[in-house]
Each structure stands twice: as C-alpha cells, then as structure tokens.
Amino acid sequence: MASKLRKIATEEAFSIPEVAAALREVARSPSQSLDKNLVKGIYDPLKPGEGYDALDFLSGLLDVEDRRLKEMDKLGVDMHLLSLTAPGVQMFDADTATELAALANDRLAEICRRHPTRFAGLATFAPQSPKRAAKEMERAIEKLKLNGFILNSHTNDEYLDDPKYWPALEAAEALGACIYIHPRAASYGFKGPLQDYGMDSAMWGYGMETGTHAVRMMCSGLFDRFPKLTICLGHMGEAIPFWLWRLDFMNTRAQAGGRAPKTKLSMAEYFQRNFVITTSGVEDHLALDYAVKKLGPDNVLWAIDYPYQPQKPAIEFMDSAPLEEETKAKLYHKNAERIFRIAPA
C-alpha cells in the first residue's frame, strides 16, 4: 500500500547551464581523470542519444520545476533536497570554481524560495580555495537559507583529512550544517583496475572512492578536532556500515603499531556519532534492515538519486520495507527535517 507519510528525498541532483558548459570544456580538455567518462557522456556525447546521453541525464539535471515537479506530484514525493551534481565545481580552477559555486547557490536558493515546500538545497563550495569556500558556506546558510553542503569526494586527488581543507570543515561545524559527501570518479591513483568493465562508475568506483574518503577522515583523527561535524554518505553508507567491525579491529592494530594516530573514539563510534547515511540507489530491504539496526533509526534517510535512478521504484522500495511505521516516518522525513533543518509540514 502506498504510504501517506511525508516523503523528502535527500540526494537529488540538478545542474545549471553555466556549470554544464564548463563541464563540456573539461570533457574537451586533456585531463586524464576517470571523471571524464561521465563528464563526456553527459555533457559532450559523441552523438546525441549515445552512451550516458541515451538516458537523458542532462535534461533531467537541468529541469527542476517542470517535468520533475510534475512527476513528484504524480508519485507523491513531497520534496527533493537538491544538490549540484557530481563532480560539482571540483574539476575547475579555483577562481572559476568559486564563481560557479556562488552562482549555483544563488539559483538553488531561488528555486527553494519559489517552492518552499517542494525543494530544499545543499550548497556547493569550492575546496580549491578553502578560505573563500568558508565565506561562501556562511553566505549559503545565513543569507541564502540553504540546508547544508554537498561535496563530491576528492579535490585534485586530495581528501578532507588534509589540513588545507579545514577552514571549510570549521565553517560547517560552526554553522551546524551537515556536509553530504557524494561520489565522483576515484582519484588518479585508483585508476588502473577501475578503468575496465564500467567499474569506474556508480557500479563500483564511486562507492570505493567515497568510502575511502570517509575512512581516511575517521582514521586521521579528524573528528577529535571537529567533534560536532556531521557527514552524510549516500548509497547505504558506501558499504561502511557492513565493514565497521573489521575497521575497528584493524584500526586498533594499526594504532598499536604506530601506523595510525591515536584517537579518542573507535572508528565505529565516530561513524555512529558523526555520520548519517541515505538509501540512494540501494533498494535492498536486507541492506536497509542491517543499516537501521547497526546505526539506529535516527541515522538513516531516504533518497532516490534522481535523475540517475528512477523515482517510482525508490518509493516502492521504502513503502514495502518491513519497518515499523515510526521508523519509516524517520527515514522518509523526520531525520531529514532534523539533519537538514527542513521545516516540518
């Protein structure tokens, strides 16, 4: 039976023409990044209708208030929490990235203002320039009233445990706003074994990249410096929930052997204190049941991953999940309202 609960989908992608045009330039550049498979396929296809373009992701990304909203109406999706799609601004030079992040945030805020009960938004920032990023993060929350931040994993093959990015983490923590770490293609060092069989993509590489990012953050002791920082991971936590026991066991050994810094808490404790996860693109009731039991019902949020995943099956997946009604209400909307400061209906 279709659930009447308010439905807030929390990893919903969009783009703007200016960012799409800049990504078309990246597609034509000599960059050897694995991201080029997706960037070329969506923004600069050889022939329209081929590859990624056959799935018409670009029009799905650029359209927010027309076809998407009509489909939301038809299917009973109350709200999309929007975020600028991967790789966001993270493949551009620092000045272009900083400028386009502000423009994308302005557009996103306008959409949210026009449809305050239908769209909320995660602000983009340019980690290439961490001090300017911190300023934009402040503006995005305090002036634009956006709901948190999106980051598409590594920037120039570097991760958030690098102290150069800490101004952005300080800003997020001080603003009390969650950073959603979304995948992009894996950093250059992972390239070799990922370039065959489509493994660079959402099939495997994205999850491995983003899971690695989160594990680096936990192992580095970053959360002792930023104890109130909240990170959101999609795709059922990028497999980390399933790995927590072994992560703890082996991290203890690495700490004892001097290969990892001493930390105040265990890896599982950091994951339970500083992370929440969403269900984007993992429509598996057994995985959901495990995640809810392992992390608790307050730390799992529903997401679709539109337009990369269709909306209807994501709703059917949650409607038919064998969960108590109160748990389902948390996953469908209450956790999103709390974490992303969305006004209750």
Angle between the N-to-C axes of helices 130-142 and 166-175, in degrees from 0 to 180, rounded to the nearest 10: 20
Is 157 a residue of the active site? no
Told to check if 305 binds Mn ion by CB under 5 A, we report yes
- Name which of residues 6 to 25 contact Mn ion (CB under 5 A): 11
CA angle 221, 222, 227 (to 5 degrees): 105
Per the structure block, which two tokens stand in for 44? 């600069």
Task: Establish if 81 lies at the interface with ligand VNL (CB under 6 A).
Answer: no
Between the CA of residue 36 and those of 4, 58, 191, what are the distances in Å?
41, 15, 12
Nearer to ligand VNL, 201 or 311 (CB): 201
Copy the structure tokens of residue 290.
């495990």
Range in contact with Mn ion (rule: CB under 5 A) among 5-13, 157-165, 238-246, 250-258:
5-13
Nearer to ligand VNL, 184 or 328 (CB): 184
Quote the Cα angle for 262-263-268, to 5°: 130
Shortest distance in whole angstroms from residue 152 CB to ligand VNL: 8
Say if residues 105 and 146 touch (Cβ distance below 8 Å).
yes
Tokens of 216: 């680096």
Pick from ligand VNL, Mn ion, none: which does 263 bind, CB < 5 to 8 A by kind? none
Give the C-alpha separation, 38 to 268, whole Å.
33
Nearest residue relative to Mn ion (C-beta): 305
Q: What is the DSSP letter of 257?
A: T
Binder of ligand VNL out of 23, 26, 38, 321 (CB under 6 A): 38
Q: Which residue is nearest to ligand VNL (CB)?
A: 308
Residue 194 binding partner per list ligand VNL, Mn ion, none, with a CB distance cut-off of 5 to 8 Å that depends on partner kind: none
| Residue 91 contacts ligand VNL per CB under 6 A | no
One character per residue 44-63, x = contact with Mn ion (rule: CB under 5 A) = --------------------
When asked if residue 86 is in the footprint of ligand VNL (CB under 6 A), the reply is yes
Instruction: Say how many CA atoms lie within 13 Å of 241 toward its Cβ.
Output: 27
CB 148 within 8 A of CB 160: no
The residues of the shown chain that bind Mn ion, judged by CB under 5 A, are: 11, 305
Q: What residues act catalytically?
A: 305
Q: Which residues bind ligand VNL (CB under 6 A)?
A: 38, 85-86, 201-202, 281, 305, 308
